């Protein structure tokens, strides 16, 4: 769906407390989360403006977002143990 919010809190609501905790106590996690959310915002903006970039570039951005989300999710799962 175009313009769908894939922010970390939206993607993993079950980890909301842990996301808040890590964002405040783990500088590396906070930095990666900030980059992920900025990329998600950029993708949504492009989608809402009829993707003024080519399809391959959009796929590359979305792939990068997915890779970042997977890495952040792994950190969340490991921290929850």
**Domain spans of the chain?**
8-80
**What does the angle CA 76 – CA 80 – CA 81 come to, to the nearest 5 degrees?**
130
CA atoms within 13 A on the CB side of 47: 16
- CA–CA separation, 78 vs 64, rounded Å? 21
- The rounded mean pLDDT for the chain is 92
Q: What is the pLDDT of residues 4-30, one digit of tens each?
A: 889 999 999 999 999 999 999 999 999
Structure tokens at 31: 């930095």
Name the band, by pLDDT with cuts 50, 70 and 90, for residue 1: low
Query: In angstroms, rounded to a whole number, what is the distance separating the alpha carbons of residues 10 and 63?
Result: 18
């Amino acid at each position: 769906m175009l313009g769908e919010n894939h922010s970390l809190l939206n993607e993993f609501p079950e980890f909301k407390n842990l996301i808040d905790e890590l964002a405040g106590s783990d500088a590396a996690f906070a930095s990666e989360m900030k980059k992920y959310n900025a990329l998600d915002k950029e993708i949504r903006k492009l989608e809402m403006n009829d993707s003024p970039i080519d399809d391959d570039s959009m796929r590359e951005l979305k792939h990068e977002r997915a890779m970042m989300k997977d890495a952040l999710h792994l950190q969340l799962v490991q921290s929850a143990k």
